[in-house]
Amino acid sequence: MKEKLLLSSYKPLIIIPVVITILCLVLVAVNGLPGSIDLEGGTIAILQLEKPVSQAELESTISTGLGTTEVDVKSISGDQATVEIAGNVDVVKLTEVLAGTATIQSYRSVGALISEEALTQVYYALAFAFLFMSITVFVIFRSVVPSLAVIAAAASDIIIAIGGMSLFGIPLSLASVGGLLMLIGYSVDTDILLTTRVLKEKKGTVTERAMNALGTGLTMTVAAIASMVALYLVVVLFIPAASTLADIAAVLIIGLLADLMTTWIMNLGILRWYLEAR
Protein backbone atom coordinates (compact mmCIF):
# COMPACT_ATOMS: atom_id res chain seq x y z
CA MET A 1 0.00 0.00 0.00
CA LYS A 2 2.80 2.39 0.92
CA GLU A 3 4.62 1.45 -2.30
CA LYS A 4 1.50 2.20 -4.35
CA LEU A 5 1.10 5.56 -2.60
CA LEU A 6 4.76 6.29 -3.35
CA LEU A 7 4.31 5.36 -6.99
CA SER A 8 1.23 7.57 -7.30
CA SER A 9 3.11 10.74 -6.23
CA TYR A 10 6.24 10.25 -8.24
CA LYS A 11 7.00 13.58 -9.96
CA PRO A 12 8.55 15.48 -6.99
CA LEU A 13 10.63 12.41 -6.13
CA ILE A 14 12.48 12.44 -9.46
CA ILE A 15 14.47 15.45 -8.27
CA ILE A 16 16.06 13.50 -5.37
CA PRO A 17 18.44 11.32 -7.45
CA VAL A 18 19.18 14.31 -9.69
CA VAL A 19 20.24 16.45 -6.72
CA ILE A 20 22.35 13.64 -5.22
CA THR A 21 24.07 13.08 -8.59
CA ILE A 22 24.89 16.80 -8.86
CA LEU A 23 26.21 16.83 -5.28
CA CYS A 24 28.48 13.89 -6.11
CA LEU A 25 29.84 15.75 -9.15
CA VAL A 26 30.58 18.76 -6.92
CA LEU A 27 32.21 16.48 -4.32
CA VAL A 28 34.53 14.93 -6.91
CA ALA A 29 35.38 18.36 -8.34
CA VAL A 30 36.22 19.76 -4.88
CA ASN A 31 37.62 16.71 -3.09
CA GLY A 32 39.24 14.97 -6.08
CA LEU A 33 39.67 11.24 -6.52
CA PRO A 34 42.69 9.40 -5.11
CA GLY A 35 44.64 7.36 -7.68
CA SER A 36 46.39 4.04 -7.18
CA ILE A 37 50.03 3.34 -7.93
CA ASP A 38 48.91 1.66 -11.18
CA LEU A 39 47.50 4.94 -12.45
CA GLU A 40 49.66 7.59 -10.77
CA GLY A 41 53.03 5.89 -10.66
CA GLY A 42 55.04 4.83 -7.65
CA THR A 43 56.43 1.77 -5.90
CA ILE A 44 54.76 -1.30 -4.38
CA ALA A 45 56.89 -3.45 -2.04
CA ILE A 46 55.97 -6.71 -0.31
CA LEU A 47 57.98 -6.97 2.92
CA GLN A 48 58.91 -9.94 5.12
CA LEU A 49 58.79 -8.62 8.69
CA GLU A 50 61.60 -9.64 11.03
CA LYS A 51 59.79 -8.51 14.17
CA PRO A 52 56.23 -7.50 15.17
CA VAL A 53 55.52 -3.94 14.08
CA SER A 54 52.35 -1.87 13.74
CA GLN A 55 51.25 -0.18 10.51
CA ALA A 56 51.95 3.26 12.00
CA GLU A 57 55.46 2.27 13.16
CA LEU A 58 56.36 0.77 9.79
CA GLU A 59 54.98 3.80 7.97
CA SER A 60 56.97 6.14 10.23
CA THR A 61 60.18 4.15 9.74
CA ILE A 62 59.92 4.27 5.95
CA SER A 63 58.78 7.91 5.83
CA THR A 64 61.64 9.08 8.04
CA GLY A 65 64.25 6.97 6.24
CA LEU A 66 63.23 8.00 2.72
CA GLY A 67 62.30 11.57 3.60
CA THR A 68 58.79 11.38 2.13
CA THR A 69 55.34 11.53 3.67
CA GLU A 70 53.66 9.68 0.81
CA VAL A 71 53.97 6.18 2.31
CA ASP A 72 50.94 3.95 2.74
CA VAL A 73 51.19 0.60 4.54
CA LYS A 74 48.24 -1.10 2.85
CA SER A 75 48.17 -4.17 5.08
CA ILE A 76 50.07 -6.29 7.58
CA SER A 77 49.12 -9.96 7.64
CA GLY A 78 51.21 -12.25 9.83
CA ASP A 79 54.84 -11.52 9.00
CA GLN A 80 54.08 -9.91 5.62
CA ALA A 81 53.35 -6.27 4.84
CA THR A 82 52.35 -4.49 1.64
CA VAL A 83 53.60 -0.93 1.26
CA GLU A 84 52.93 1.70 -1.42
CA ILE A 85 55.36 4.60 -1.81
CA ALA A 86 54.88 7.56 -4.15
CA GLY A 87 57.60 8.08 -6.77
CA ASN A 88 60.42 5.87 -7.94
CA VAL A 89 62.22 4.57 -4.84
CA ASP A 90 65.83 3.38 -4.77
CA VAL A 91 65.57 -0.28 -3.69
CA VAL A 92 69.05 -0.21 -2.12
CA LYS A 93 68.14 2.77 0.06
CA LEU A 94 64.79 1.16 1.01
CA THR A 95 66.66 -2.01 2.03
CA GLU A 96 68.96 0.06 4.27
CA VAL A 97 65.97 1.87 5.84
CA LEU A 98 64.26 -1.43 6.63
CA ALA A 99 67.37 -3.10 8.08
CA GLY A 100 66.45 -4.92 11.31
CA THR A 101 62.72 -4.43 10.67
CA ALA A 102 61.96 -6.19 7.41
CA THR A 103 63.40 -7.52 4.19
CA ILE A 104 62.05 -6.85 0.71
CA GLN A 105 60.31 -9.90 -0.72
CA SER A 106 59.15 -8.34 -3.98
CA TYR A 107 59.38 -4.88 -5.47
CA ARG A 108 57.53 -3.20 -8.36
CA SER A 109 57.92 0.31 -9.63
CA VAL A 110 55.48 1.95 -12.09
CA GLY A 111 56.77 4.93 -14.06
CA ALA A 112 54.82 8.07 -14.91
CA LEU A 113 54.60 7.26 -18.64
CA ILE A 114 53.15 3.79 -18.01
CA SER A 115 50.72 5.27 -15.50
CA GLU A 116 49.58 7.93 -17.97
CA GLU A 117 49.00 5.27 -20.63
CA ALA A 118 47.03 3.12 -18.15
CA LEU A 119 44.87 6.10 -17.18
CA THR A 120 44.12 6.82 -20.85
CA GLN A 121 43.06 3.20 -21.36
CA VAL A 122 40.78 3.46 -18.30
CA TYR A 123 39.00 6.47 -19.82
CA TYR A 124 38.63 4.63 -23.15
CA ALA A 125 37.27 1.51 -21.41
CA LEU A 126 34.61 3.50 -19.53
CA ALA A 127 33.68 5.58 -22.60
CA PHE A 128 33.34 2.58 -24.94
CA ALA A 129 31.39 0.56 -22.33
CA PHE A 130 28.93 3.41 -21.93
CA LEU A 131 28.71 4.04 -25.69
CA PHE A 132 27.92 0.39 -26.54
CA MET A 133 25.49 0.16 -23.63
CA SER A 134 23.65 3.25 -24.94
CA ILE A 135 23.49 1.86 -28.50
CA THR A 136 22.12 -1.46 -27.18
CA VAL A 137 19.42 0.30 -25.14
CA PHE A 138 18.32 2.40 -28.15
CA VAL A 139 18.17 -0.73 -30.34
CA ILE A 140 16.07 -2.61 -27.76
CA PHE A 141 13.45 0.06 -27.04
CA ARG A 142 13.53 2.18 -30.25
CA SER A 143 12.05 5.06 -28.26
CA VAL A 144 13.98 8.15 -27.19
CA VAL A 145 12.55 8.95 -23.74
CA PRO A 146 12.64 5.43 -22.20
CA SER A 147 16.13 4.88 -23.65
CA LEU A 148 17.40 8.18 -22.25
CA ALA A 149 15.87 7.30 -18.88
CA VAL A 150 17.83 4.03 -18.76
CA ILE A 151 21.05 5.77 -19.81
CA ALA A 152 20.52 8.60 -17.28
CA ALA A 153 19.97 6.08 -14.47
CA ALA A 154 23.17 4.19 -15.37
CA ALA A 155 25.13 7.46 -15.61
CA SER A 156 23.84 8.55 -12.19
CA ASP A 157 24.89 5.21 -10.69
CA ILE A 158 28.42 5.65 -12.01
CA ILE A 159 28.66 9.28 -10.87
CA ILE A 160 27.34 8.47 -7.37
CA ALA A 161 29.76 5.52 -7.11
CA ILE A 162 32.68 7.81 -8.06
CA GLY A 163 31.41 10.37 -5.54
CA GLY A 164 31.44 7.63 -2.88
CA MET A 165 34.99 6.72 -3.87
CA SER A 166 36.01 10.34 -3.38
CA LEU A 167 34.18 10.56 -0.03
CA PHE A 168 35.58 7.33 1.43
CA GLY A 169 39.07 7.58 -0.11
CA ILE A 170 38.73 4.51 -2.35
CA PRO A 171 41.48 4.89 -4.98
CA LEU A 172 40.81 4.86 -8.70
CA SER A 173 42.70 1.78 -9.83
CA LEU A 174 42.49 -0.81 -12.59
CA ALA A 175 40.53 -2.95 -10.11
CA SER A 176 38.04 -0.25 -9.08
CA VAL A 177 37.50 0.59 -12.77
CA GLY A 178 36.54 -3.08 -13.18
CA GLY A 179 33.98 -2.48 -10.42
CA LEU A 180 32.59 0.54 -12.29
CA LEU A 181 32.30 -1.49 -15.51
CA MET A 182 30.45 -4.25 -13.60
CA LEU A 183 28.18 -1.57 -12.16
CA ILE A 184 27.10 -0.48 -15.67
CA GLY A 185 25.92 -4.06 -16.27
CA TYR A 186 24.07 -4.33 -12.94
CA SER A 187 22.44 -0.94 -13.44
CA VAL A 188 21.22 -1.66 -16.95
CA ASP A 189 19.81 -5.05 -15.87
CA THR A 190 17.30 -3.57 -13.45
CA ASP A 191 16.51 -0.58 -15.68
CA ILE A 192 15.79 -2.82 -18.69
CA LEU A 193 13.68 -5.11 -16.49
CA LEU A 194 11.59 -2.15 -15.32
CA THR A 195 11.26 -0.54 -18.75
CA THR A 196 10.33 -3.83 -20.43
CA ARG A 197 7.64 -4.65 -17.85
CA VAL A 198 6.14 -1.15 -17.90
CA LEU A 199 6.23 -0.57 -21.68
CA LYS A 200 5.84 -4.01 -23.22
CA GLU A 201 3.33 -5.73 -20.94
CA LYS A 202 -0.33 -4.96 -21.56
CA LYS A 203 -1.97 -6.49 -18.47
CA GLY A 204 -2.79 -4.25 -15.50
CA THR A 205 -2.17 -0.55 -14.86
CA VAL A 206 1.25 1.09 -15.03
CA THR A 207 1.46 1.01 -11.22
CA GLU A 208 0.63 -2.72 -11.13
CA ARG A 209 3.24 -3.49 -13.79
CA ALA A 210 5.81 -1.38 -11.92
CA MET A 211 5.00 -3.21 -8.67
CA ASN A 212 5.48 -6.52 -10.46
CA ALA A 213 8.91 -5.41 -11.72
CA LEU A 214 9.79 -3.98 -8.30
CA GLY A 215 9.64 -7.41 -6.61
CA THR A 216 12.02 -9.02 -9.11
CA GLY A 217 14.32 -6.01 -9.35
CA LEU A 218 14.68 -5.58 -5.60
CA THR A 219 15.50 -9.27 -5.21
CA MET A 220 18.23 -8.99 -7.84
CA THR A 221 19.79 -5.84 -6.38
CA VAL A 222 19.55 -6.84 -2.70
CA ALA A 223 21.11 -10.23 -3.49
CA ALA A 224 23.99 -8.50 -5.30
CA ILE A 225 24.49 -6.02 -2.42
CA ALA A 226 24.46 -8.86 0.16
CA SER A 227 27.11 -10.80 -1.77
CA MET A 228 29.31 -7.70 -2.08
CA VAL A 229 28.94 -6.91 1.65
CA ALA A 230 29.96 -10.51 2.45
CA LEU A 231 33.00 -10.22 0.15
CA TYR A 232 33.99 -6.88 1.71
CA LEU A 233 33.74 -8.20 5.29
CA VAL A 234 35.65 -11.41 4.50
CA VAL A 235 38.51 -9.44 2.92
CA VAL A 236 38.68 -6.82 5.68
CA LEU A 237 38.47 -9.31 8.56
CA PHE A 238 40.38 -12.33 7.25
CA ILE A 239 42.49 -11.48 4.18
CA PRO A 240 43.43 -7.76 4.42
CA ALA A 241 46.25 -8.30 1.92
CA ALA A 242 43.59 -8.68 -0.79
CA SER A 243 42.51 -5.06 -0.40
CA THR A 244 41.85 -4.82 -4.14
CA LEU A 245 38.81 -7.09 -3.72
CA ALA A 246 37.56 -4.90 -0.87
CA ASP A 247 37.84 -1.82 -3.11
CA ILE A 248 35.84 -3.52 -5.90
CA ALA A 249 33.18 -4.63 -3.41
CA ALA A 250 32.94 -1.15 -1.87
CA VAL A 251 32.48 0.48 -5.31
CA LEU A 252 29.72 -1.99 -6.18
CA ILE A 253 27.95 -1.57 -2.82
CA ILE A 254 27.79 2.22 -3.24
CA GLY A 255 26.72 1.93 -6.87
CA LEU A 256 24.04 -0.71 -6.19
CA LEU A 257 22.55 1.33 -3.35
CA ALA A 258 22.41 4.27 -5.76
CA ASP A 259 20.79 1.98 -8.34
CA LEU A 260 17.84 1.31 -5.99
CA MET A 261 17.15 5.03 -6.01
CA THR A 262 17.84 5.84 -9.66
CA THR A 263 15.88 2.88 -11.02
CA TRP A 264 12.80 2.86 -8.79
CA ILE A 265 12.46 6.61 -8.26
CA MET A 266 14.04 8.39 -11.24
CA ASN A 267 13.65 5.91 -14.11
CA LEU A 268 10.19 4.77 -13.04
CA GLY A 269 9.08 8.37 -12.54
CA ILE A 270 10.26 9.35 -16.03
CA LEU A 271 8.53 6.32 -17.55
CA ARG A 272 5.23 7.09 -15.83
CA TRP A 273 5.45 10.73 -16.89
CA TYR A 274 6.19 9.63 -20.47
CA LEU A 275 3.23 7.22 -20.57
CA GLU A 276 0.81 9.77 -19.14
CA ALA A 277 1.91 12.42 -21.65
CA ARG A 278 1.76 10.07 -24.64
d(CA 25, CA 5): 31
pLDDT digits over 193-249, tens only? 888 888 887 787 877 888 888 888 889 899 999 999 999 999 888 877 677 888 899
Q: Are 132 and 188 in contact (CB under 8 A)?
A: no
Q: What is the mean pLDDT of residues 55-77?
A: 81
In the predicted structure, residue 59 carries a pLDDT above the cut 90: no
d(CA 268, CA 278): 15
| Claim: this prediction has a pTM higher than 0.75 | yes
pLDDT digits over 89-145, tens only? 777 888 888 888 888 888 777 766 556 677 788 788 888 888 888 888 888 888 889
Q: What is the mean pLDDT of residues 156-182?
A: 89
**Least confident stretch, 27-36, 90-99, 112-121, 156-165:** 112-121
Q: How many CB atoms lie within 10 A of CB 31?
A: 13
